[in-house]
Amino acid sequence: MNEIKPYSKAIVLLLKKTVESNSLEWNNILRYQSDIQEYLSVIGLELVIKKDEGFAYVKQIVMEDDSTLSLVQRRQLTFEVSIILVVLRQLLEDFDNNPTDTHSTERFVSANEIKDEVRLFLPEKYNKVKLEKDLDTHIQSVVKLGFLKEVWNGNNDTRYVIHRIIKEKVTLDDLDLFRQKLAEYVGGTR
């Protein structure tokens, strides 16, 4: 008969979402890291632990032919959500390179700050009226994806903390590629 392992809850949690260091299962992830990795590798997943960043997650193992077992479904992001992710990644990169608050390792951002930054990315002919109407919905999509966590809401603005997993999902190479594609897009619409 199979017995439930002391790290079973940690595996289930990792399969559902990113696990942060304040989670009840964090210590089990650290303690049973090799057992968890052994289990996950059977189903084509890899355990990634970022101790200094304070989170762990699983990602698909890429095989020699650049394929995966396709356990995790990739989602197509909208143009607007992609811009928000790029903005957030750039804000976090700037913060890490030039921290303004030496007591904090977290980058806080307001919804209004996100909106201001997104406006800078848009081509001239982009439908800005529609964007303004839908921007809060796009920001909420980013929250649901786990890249932002709401920490305060009031006075016609909301404050978030940028989750550091964005550095794993949106790399510096991705930022450069997005900028190139955006420049091509802007060049083609004028």
Residues 90 and 167 in one domain: yes
For residues 66 and 60, the model is more confident at 60
pTM: 0.73
Q: Tell me, what's the pLDDT at 190?
A: 41
Residue listed under structure tokens 């595996």: 11
What is the per-residue pLDDT across 129-140, written as a single tens digit (0 to 9) for each? 777 778 889 999
* Torsional sign, CA 92, 95, 100, 101: positive
**C-alpha–C-alpha distance, residues 48 and 14, integer Å:** 10
Q: Has residue 68 been placed in a domain?
A: no
Task: Work out whether strand 108-110 and strand 55-60 pair parallel, antiparallel, or are unpaired.
Answer: unpaired
Q: Has residue 150 been placed in a domain?
A: yes
Residues 170 and 86 in one domain: yes
Residues 52 and 100 in one domain: no
Q: Mean pLDDT over residues 113-122, rounded?
A: 85
| Number of domains forming the structure of the chain | 2
Q: How far is CA 144 from CA 38, 101, 119, 120, in A?
A: 29, 27, 22, 24
Half-sphere exposure of 144 (CA within 13 A, CB side): 9
Q: Mean pLDDT over residues 97-101, rounded?
A: 73
* H helix or E strand, kind and range, residue 16: helix 8-16
Structural domain range at position 142 = 79-189
Residues 159 and 83 in one domain: yes
